[in-house]
Amino acid sequence: MPSNKSVSDAPITQFINCRILRDHHLQREDLWVREGRILDPEKLFFDEKGYADERVDCEGSIIAPGFIDVQINGGYGIDFSQPSNDVSSGISLVAQKILEHGVTSFCPTLVTSPPSVYHKVLPQVKVHGGGRHGAGVLGFHLEGPFISLEKKGAHPEQYLRTFSSGGKDDLMETYGGLDNVAMVTLAPELPNSQSAVRELCQRGITVSLGHSVANLSQAEEAVQAGASFITHLFNAMLPFHHRDPGIVGLLTSDQIPPGRMVYYGMIADGIHTNPAALRIAHRAHPSGLVLVTDAITAMGLPPGRHTLGQQVVEIQGLHAYVAGLTDVFLVLGTTTLCGSIATMDMCVRHFKQASGCSVEEALEGASLHPAQLLGISHKKGNLDYGSDADLVLLDDALNVKATYISGEEVWRRGA
Amino acid sequence: MRLVILDDYAQSSEWAAKYICNRIIQFNPSEDRYFTLGLPTGSTPYGCYQKLIQYHRSGDLSFKYVKTFNMDEYVGLPRSHPQSYHSYMWNNFFKHIDINPANAHILDGNADDLEEECQKYEEKIQEAGGIQLFVGGIGPDGHIAFNEPGSSLVSRTRVKTLAKDTIMANARFFDNDLSKVPTMALTVGVGTVMDAKEVLILITGAHKALALSRAIEEGVNHMWTVSAFQQHPTTTFVCDEDATLELRVKTVKYFKGTRTPDTMRDTVECLLQIHKTHVDRLGELP
């Protein structure tokens, strides 16, 4: 048919034979893409008298928005917290590999490190879009060092810090700069944390509460000052108590400012959280659930010993433990959990199975909710007209069949 | 007039869809010779559209060389509103078939100059060589398109104010809030539809029974504008049993087939006859 498109001559791709996630439902609809964004086919038909140039037969697949991982420390032998002169290539390698898990955007995460590491690593990586080269980088997630000693988890004790200079100055002194930082995890009970929270929020950086012994009031104050996320709920915080629910209580707190929402990260790898606890959290606050992998350097690697920041960890199956300081401790060592080696698509499947939630909810936990958390849902995390065409094609069991970024195929199973 | 009576909505939708499908195929449209089709909206033709889509999907019917002209559209309703007739046609028909978007014509109820828009629409129909087959429905008040009671029977495409009956009937699509229902529409005229070579009117449901009886058993009357088609050489009314409830028994028996020399012939035989001459391709029952 003769072309008559008036808005743009760019080729139009129509994904057919698919079910797309739109308006919180999987619908049998075609998906139209032009110039890397989702296109409104009705407008195309009536306004431009246009039609598709290319049709992609999805053979009945589910099309979901590409997954967004806001907490990933490394993988495939790469540890983002290891200071090196070429952090970019490590991040690029992981960015490429995670396309296989349906992840199209992520926040490379740095665990508690000395200032020298932040000063060296942060300037090397800028926020940038994804493509064939790999998933897009949304900015760093700095998990620490302003966290609680009692809840340091696998973080190295000697590099923990407090807001001794009042807050703002501590941030700049420790990190060196805050450009290209998307999120900071801190413990709000640390004195002067409020001013740090405000400073970060003012810069558009998401503030997350974690590795903390804060009680509910302290957590609520932090939320009122701008905090909006909880880092790996239940892990590295005080357990829920019926007279002081602690950070966990934020899920049902009535002190959240109107119009704001608290999101919470869950590592749904079957290990970090008992499925019953996962269900309690999900049922209490379903729209705030954000799936994260918290993947470490060993993700994607065979069992054995690997580094995580300044420490050494041991892999057995899907379990990764902090090894003792000497080489004598092999399999046993400690039993402190330290990140996971699950992949994002595994987390989506496991979350759906453990919580009994719908396919739509499981998919939104890995796409829509992280996008909303980071304030980028106007272009990512959904298949609305105008959003970036970052897509993941899945079969009914939610295994990844293909991944697209800006409408371009960047990974296909079996290719 | 031909009056084809089927058992229920599903059958009448299928009959009508087969009729349209076969008309297009028999016409054998090509790049130099398009088939022009007039189209309605609403709940009545929905089943028919579903069937046409099915025939397209199975490879039996292409709309590549078909031009369509819808009957009407609301004035002042944003085109993207889910109740606009543009939305209806896109969701229920156009997006499932292979029609060239440039050949799908619907009146623009948001045009700056509504009268000019109506004038241009008449011209587009002329340029397309007139309408081969105009498909329509009727309202409970016997109107065709938005030619409300009192419309001239020789009217052309124009702006019309909607009757209270029509607004009330449409309220169910606007949260039952009468204030949200559009009060004006652009519509093809009775005369415009009369110009078509052939007219196919779909009428289903007991609530249309009175209108059908007034339209075909009484005189030509501008209060029941569908009655104008008594004066069209080739009009077919397709209806279900419920729509015949207000007709005289004599009328129904006549059209169900007691007209043939062999008075023992039953309804099915008669309908098979109509099928063979008008609906089946290659003389086979699909």
Q: In CATH, what number is assigned to the domain containing residue A140? A: 3.20.20.140
> Does residue B122 contact residue B27 with C-beta atoms inside 8 Å?
no
> Does residue A236 contact residue A153 with C-beta atoms inside 8 Å?
yes
Cα atoms in the 13 Å half-sphere on the side-chain side of A48: 19
The model's pLDDT over A36-49, given as tens digits with 9 standing for 90+, comes to 999 999 999 999 99
Q: Which of A6, A45, A51, A55 to mutate to test the interface with B (most CBs of B within 10 A)?
A: A45
Chain A residue numbers with beta carbons less than 8 Å from the beta carbon of B90 are 42, 45-46
Establish whether B143 is a catalytic residue.
Answer: yes
Higher pLDDT, A9 or A215: A215
pLDDT for B165 equals 81
DSSP-based three-state secondary structure for A66: coil
Which residues, including other chains, have CB under 8 Å from residue A358's CB and lie 6 or more apart?
A352
**Is A191 within a domain?**
yes
The model's pLDDT over A306-345, given as tens digits with 9 standing for 90+, comes to 766 666 767 766 666 665 433 222 223 566 667 788 899 9
**Distances, alpha carbon A119 to alpha carbons A52, A154, A204, in Å:** 49, 22, 21
**Sequence-ordered strand ranges (E) for B127-250:** 133-137, 158-161, 184-187, 198-203, 235-240
| Beta bridge partner(s), residue A215 | none
Burial class of residue A9 in the structure, from the number of CB atoms within 10 Å of its CB (0-12 exposed, 13-18 middle, 19+ buried):
exposed
pLDDT for A322 equals 60
> Does residue A62 contact residue A26 with C-beta atoms inside 8 Å?
yes
A243 annotated as ligand-binding? yes
Q: Do A388 and A239 sit in the same domain of this protein?
A: no
Catalytic positions of A, written as ranges: 294
DSSP A131: B
Q: Do A36 and A93 sit in the same domain of this protein?
A: no
**Is A300 within a domain?**
no
Contact B101 A43 (CB under 8 A): no
Contact A51 B90 (CB under 8 A): no
Confirm or reject contact between B82 and chain A (CB < 8 A). Answer: no
pLDDT for A275 equals 92
Contact B101 A51 (CB under 8 A): yes
Establish whether B198 is a catalytic residue.
Answer: no
Angle between helices A216-224 and A193-202 (to 10 degrees): 30
CA distance A45 to chain B (A): 6
Active-site hit among B14, B73, B141, B195 = B141
> Does residue B38 contact residue B135 with C-beta atoms inside 8 Å?
yes
| Beta bridge partner(s), residue A206 | A183
Q: Do A48 and A118 sit in the same domain of this protein?
A: no
Confirm or reject contact between B86 and chain A (CB < 8 A). Answer: yes
Which residues, including other chains, have CB under 8 Å from residue A81's CB and lie 6 or more apart?
A73, A74, A110, A111, A113, A117, A121, A308, A309, A310
CATH code of the domain covering residue B170? 3.40.50.1360
The model's pLDDT over A89-106, given as tens digits with 9 standing for 90+, comes to 999 999 999 999 999 999
Of the candidates A280, A282, A318, the residue with the CA atom closest to the CA atom of residue A299: A318
For A404, the domain range is: 12-64+382-412
DSSP-based three-state secondary structure for A411: strand
Q: Do A166 and A26 sit in the same domain of this protein?
A: no
B143, amino acid identity: H
- Nearest by CB: A4 against B64, B90, B102: B102
Q: Do A73 and A137 sit in the same domain of this protein?
A: yes
Q: Do A60 and A197 sit in the same domain of this protein?
A: no
A201 annotated as ligand-binding? no
Q: Do A60 and A77 sit in the same domain of this protein?
A: no
Q: Do A75 and A21 sit in the same domain of this protein?
A: no
Q: Do A16 and A87 sit in the same domain of this protein?
A: no
**Is B281 within a domain?**
no
CA distance A119 to chain B (A): 52
A21 annotated as ligand-binding? no
**Is B285 within a domain?**
no
Residue A60 has pLDDT above 60, yes or no: yes
Confidence class for position B217, pLDDT limits 50, 70, 90: very high
Is 0.90 topped by the overall pTM? no
**Is A32 within a domain?**
yes
Higher pLDDT, A127 or B276: A127
Q: In terms of CA atoms, which chain B residue is nearest residue A31?
A: B95
A265, amino acid identity: G
Q: How far apart are CA B117 and CA B122, in angstroms?
A: 9
**Is B283 within a domain?**
no
Of the candidates A252, A280, A254, the residue with the CA atom closest to the CA atom of residue A266: A280
> Does residue A285 contact residue A274 with C-beta atoms inside 8 Å?
no
> Does residue B24 contact residue B66 with C-beta atoms inside 8 Å?
yes
Q: Do A78 and A38 sit in the same domain of this protein?
A: no
> Does residue A62 contact residue A395 with C-beta atoms inside 8 Å?
yes
Angle between helices A193-202 and A168-175 (to 10 degrees): 70
**Distances, alpha carbon A201 to alpha carbons A182, B78, B110, in Å:** 10, 39, 44
**Is A310 within a domain?**
no
pLDDT for A276 equals 93
CA distance B182 to chain A (A): 21
Confidence class for position B41, pLDDT limits 50, 70, 90: very high
**Is B272 within a domain?**
yes
> Does residue B20 contact residue B62 with C-beta atoms inside 8 Å?
no
Interface size, chain A vs chain B, as Cβ–Cβ contacts under 8 Å? 30
- Nearest by CB: B90 against A4, A30, A42: A42
**Sequence-ordered strand ranges (E) for A41-194:** 54-57, 62-65, 67-72, 74-75, 78-79, 103-110, 136-137, 140-143, 181-186
Question: How many distinct structural domains can be found in chain B?
Answer: 1
Of the candidates A100, A40, A106, the residue with the CA atom closest to the CA atom of residue A74: A106
**Is A168 within a domain?**
yes
For A63-99, letters b (16+ CB in 10 Å) and e give bbbbbbbbbbbbbbebbbbbbeeebbebbbbbbbbbb
**Is A2 within a domain?**
no
Cα atoms in the 13 Å half-sphere on the side-chain side of A404: 26
Average pLDDT (A105-113) is 97
A347 annotated as ligand-binding? no
CA distance A1 to chain B (A): 7
Q: How far apart are CA B161 and CA B157, in angstroms?
A: 13
For B143, the domain range is: 2-276
Q: Do A28 and A159 sit in the same domain of this protein?
A: no
Higher pLDDT, A303 or A285: A285
A232 annotated as ligand-binding? yes
A339 annotated as ligand-binding? yes
- Nearest by CB: B102 against A30, A41, A49: A49
Chain B residue numbers with beta carbons less than 8 Å from the beta carbon of A41 are 95
The model's pLDDT over A179-201, given as tens digits with 9 standing for 90+, comes to 999 999 999 999 999 999 999 99
Chain A residue numbers with beta carbons less than 8 Å from the beta carbon of B65 are none
Contact B79 A46 (CB under 8 A): yes
Which residues, including other chains, have CB under 8 Å from residue B281's CB and lie 6 or more apart?
B22, B25, B26
| Beta bridge partner(s), residue B184 | B161
Bond from prior residue into A145 cis (ω within 30 degrees of 0): yes
Contact B101 A46 (CB under 8 A): yes
Contact B101 A45 (CB under 8 A): yes
Q: How far apart are CA A193 and CA A196, in angstroms?
A: 5
**Is A337 within a domain?**
no
Q: In terms of CA atoms, which chain B residue is nearest residue A49?
A: B101
The model's pLDDT over A129-142, given as tens digits with 9 standing for 90+, comes to 999 999 999 999 99
Question: How many distinct structural domains can be found in chain A?
Answer: 2
Contact A41 B95 (CB under 8 A): yes
Active-site hit among B56, B86, B105, B143 = B143
Confidence class for position B168, pLDDT limits 50, 70, 90: confident
Q: Do A283 and A396 sit in the same domain of this protein?
A: no
For A168-197, letters b (16+ CB in 10 Å) and e give bebbeebbbebebbbbbbbbbbbebbbbbb
CA distance B266 to chain A (A): 43
Contact A49 B100 (CB under 8 A): yes
CATH code of the domain covering residue A396? 2.30.40.10
CA distance A179 to chain B (A): 41
